[in-house]
Amino acid sequence: MAGRSDEMGAAPFVPEERSIPILGEAVQKCRGCELYRDATQAVFGEIDAGASKQTSRVAIMMVGEQPGDQEDRQGRPFVGPAGKLLDACLEEAGIDRDRVYVTNAVKHFKWEPRGKLRIHKKPSAREIRACRPWLNAEVEAVKPRLIVCLGATAAQGLLGSGFKITQEHGKLQQATGLPPILATLHPSAILRAPSDEDRQRQRASFVQDLREAARFADGASKPRRRTVQE
């Protein structure tokens, strides 16, 4: 099965039931692309474990790129430095953490060795496509009012390769078959900013985008139409 996996994608591994616990268990057996080989485990989406789990309707699904080193080891999304920054910015934007489901476009950690370190490697368009059935299943299970794409990889995966996050961030978009989408920076990009000044500017822009997301999730603004270029 692994030999044919590149062409196959995740679809044959996704169970029919749209329940996050069942999907999260099934994803561990996914061989839809080659990324499972070097990862510790698949990292599926979740509502923050510290919040009042599943008690209120999820308003926003946040989609990042892929798990990082710490996420891969712990088996949970956004538990590293980027996750801490995300939590702080959500609070600043007035978004309840327990109404946010966090996940990634790709469920296994792609990395390359540098000495003893495992360095993040950007997933390819083919790997993102292969993993898309899991994201679709999460959307069907969670039924968010809004998807927030964190970074260009997730945004281009859902809104097409021509999507330019630098020009379109913070604006509501609509893609066929999905809830409204708003794209913004990935918190990791803010952490990697070359200077304190850049970091503060990017953080302020990120929080502003999250405030726009909150306005929509509260029903105060409407998306505009956008045709996805696959």
Nearer to ligand SF4, 156 or 173 (CB): 156
Cα dist from 147 to 26, 135, 188, 214, whole Å: 23, 11, 18, 11
Q: Which is nearer to ligand SF4, 104 or 173 (CB)?
A: 104
Q: How many CB atoms lie within 10 A of CB 230?
A: 8
Question: Which is nearer to ligand SF4, 103 or 188 (by Cβ)?
Answer: 103
Site string for ligand SF4, 133-162 (x = CB under 6 A): -x----------------------------
Q: Give whichever of 130 and 139 is closer to ligand SF4, judged by the CB atom.
A: 130
**Least distance CB 163 / ligand SF4 (angstroms):** 21
In the complex, the smallest distance separating the C-beta of residue 203 from ligand SF4, rounded to whole angstroms, is 29
Q: What is the DSSP string of 37-63?
A: GGSSS----EE-TTS-TTSS---EEEE
Nearer to ligand SF4 by Cβ, of 35 and 150: the residue is 35
- Strand residue runs (E) in the chain: 46-47, 60-64, 100-104, 111-114, 117-120, 146-150, 172-173, 181-184
| Neighbouring residues of 119: CB distance < 8 A, sequence distance ≥ 6 | 111, 112, 113
CA–CA separation, 168 vs 183, rounded Å?
7
Give the range of 106-114, 147-155, 190-198, 216-224 binding ligand SF4 by CB under 6 A: 106-114
The footprint of ligand SF4 on this chain (CB under 6 A) covers a number of residues equal to 15
Which amino acid is residue 155, in one-letter code?
A: A
Stretch that binds ligand SF4, among 67-75, 128-136, 173-181, 201-209 (CB under 6 A): 128-136
Tokens at 137, concatenated: 């299943």
Restricted to residues 13-42, the positions that interact with ligand SF4 (CB under 6 A) are 27, 30-33, 35-36, 42
Write out the residues near ligand SF4 by the rule CB under 6 A. 10, 27, 30-33, 35-36, 42, 106-108, 130-131, 134
